[in-house]
Chains A and B, each alone.
Chain A
Amino acid sequence: MEHELQQWLDEAMQGKEESFCRLVDHYQNGVYNLCYRMLGNRHEAEDAAQESFWRAYRNLHRYDPSRSFQTWLLSIASHYCIDQQRKRRMTLIAIDEPFEETFGSNSPTPEHVYSNNEQSSQMEELINTLKPTDRAALVLRYWHQMSEKEIADTLSLSVSAVKSRLFRARKELAEKMETRREEYELHERETYEPQKI
């Protein structure tokens, strides 16, 4: 697979559109997932992912082959999403649609899915309150399992800046966690208790 990817990349860099589309097919989930986690909306994530691939295609001649292609793509997508969020000047995105998660073949039980979705949704909501770059660092760390060095490369930051952003984001999450949990439990009680009677 690695050999094939390299071949498609070489061909794409020589101007072969079809090979770039194969790369899009291969990397679409990673790029889309990042955009989705950053923007919190399926429609915007689709647009952002498409735009990120287009920017990558147009700037392919600037790609440094010594870097990981995936990191380069995610870097383009991260910067685009950060810009979009700054444009919107929104600190909190209302999660008004359920997150569409893709589970593998070993899907958990419906109760487990419900519980997982519920917790993921809470976490998403909290992550969405973070500053765009802090959010990007956190998404890359936990959804893309990137090291601090990789995050630094992706976001064009120093490793110490990434550490500081991750620290800030984690602290903020931890502090907001309790408040949100209490709010959520109160909301749940208000919603479901009358049905039990």
Chain B
Amino acid sequence: MNSMKGKPMNHKKFEQMILTPEALTSEEREELARHIATCESCRKLSLQWQKASRMLNKPLPMAAPAPGFSARFAHSIEKRKEAEQQKQVRRFITILLVSLLSAALIFAVTYYSTNSLETIIKDTANASAQMLFLWESLKAIISTVTGFLPTVLLIPFLLTAASAMLTLTLLWLVSIWKLTLQKETVL
């Protein structure tokens, strides 16, 4: 079945011819016809493909969406934009928090490993007082600003404020770290 007069046949070549008949020259068609006449498996494939091809080449109907597709899309744009904006804000806040926590961790490890218990207690008390003052000031600023700022500008404002706070915190941590180093040098 897979050979002609005992010789192995190149079925791949004929399968290619059967399945892409549009690309065949007249000589190739004749060659294929001769082969099909003697090869059972290629004849079977040819018949099967003719059936499948007839169905595929029929004018196939186009599926259409339910009416109002573009209106639904237009309506969804605003929601998708909002969702994307929220995603970006969440991503920004996550990065901000991770950076902040990492910086705090590095500072804490460095600070606690290089200072005496007395210095740590004194510095912690000072830092807590400063933080409390900063927190109260921040609350006052936010409540004042949100009172007159339109909702559209609120997110950019909060992002700017958060960035500024991060920078200030980092600067504050760096300055304390530098001071600690100076103290150590003096001692």
Chain B, interface size: which category?
A: 20 to 34
Contact in complex: B63, A174 (CB < 8 Å) = no
- Residue pairs across A and B with CB atoms within 8 Å: the count is 110
* A175: B residues at CB distance < 8 A: 45, 48
In the complex, identify which listed stretch (A47-55, A77-85, A128-136, A189-197) lies at the interface while the others stay far away: A47-55
Note all chain B residues with C-beta closer than 8 A to A36: 63
Contact A170 B52 (CB under 8 A): yes
B48 nearest in chain A by CB position:
A174
The 0/1 profile, CB within 8 Å of A marked 1, for residues 3-47 of chain B is 000000000000110011000000000000000000000000100
A166 partner residues in chain B, CB cutoff 8 A: 20
Could you tell me the distance in whole angstroms from the C-beta of B16 to the nearest C-beta in chain A? Answer: 6
Cα distance, A28 to B66, chains bound together (Å): 10
B55 proximal to A (CB < 8 A) = yes
Verify B72–A170 contact, CB threshold 8 A: no
Q: Does B132 contact A (CB under 8 A)?
A: no
Interface centre among B52, B53, B74 (most CB of A within 10 A): B52
Quick one: which of B65, B69, B70, B76 has the most chain A CB within 10 A?
Answer: B65
Residues of B within 8 A of A49 (CB): 65, 69
Q: Does B49 contact A (CB under 8 A)?
A: yes
Residue of A nearest to B74 (CB): A21
CA distance A170 to B52 in the complex (A): 8
Query: Chain A interface: which size bin?
Result: 35 or more
Among residues of B, the one whose C-beta sits closest to the C-beta of A144 is B62
A96, B64: Cα distance in complex, Å: 18
CB distance from A52 to the nearest CB of B (A): 10
| A36 to B62 Cα, complex, angstroms | 9
Are A29 and B56 in contact, CB atoms less than 8 angstroms apart?
no
Question: Which A residue's beta carbon lies closest to that of B19?
Answer: A170
Whether the pair B62, A102 counts as a contact (CB closer than 8 A) is: yes
A167 touches B76 (CB 8 A): no
Which B-chain residue is minimally distant from A179 (CB atoms)? B48
**Residue ID in chain A nearest B69 by CB atoms:** A28
Chain A nearest CB, measured from B111 CB (Å): 45
- Report A126-177 residues with CB < 8 Å from chain B CB: 126, 138, 142-143, 163, 166-167, 170-171, 173-175, 177
Cβ-closest chain B residue relative to A141: B56
A18-32 CB mask vs B (1 if < 8 Å, else 0) is 000110110011101
B48 / chain A contacts, CB cutoff of 8 Å: 174-175, 177-178
User: Which 3 pairs across A and B sit closest by C-beta, in order of nearness?
Assistant: A101-B61, A25-B70, A174-B48
Given contact pairs A50-B76, A119-B58, A163-B20, a sample of 18 additional A-B residue pairs in the complex whose CB atoms are under 8 Å apart: A28-B65, A28-B69, A32-B65, A42-B63, A46-B65, A49-B65, A53-B73, A99-B63, A100-B63, A122-B55, A167-B15, A167-B20, A173-B56, A174-B49, A174-B52, A175-B48, A177-B51, A181-B51
Q: What would 26 A/B residue contacts be, using CB atoms closer than 8 Å?
A: A17-B74, A17-B77, A24-B74, A30-B62, A32-B64, A32-B65, A33-B63, A42-B63, A46-B66, A46-B69, A53-B73, A54-B76, A57-B77, A101-B62, A103-B61, A123-B55, A163-B20, A166-B20, A170-B20, A171-B45, A174-B19, A174-B45, A174-B51, A174-B52, A175-B45, A177-B48
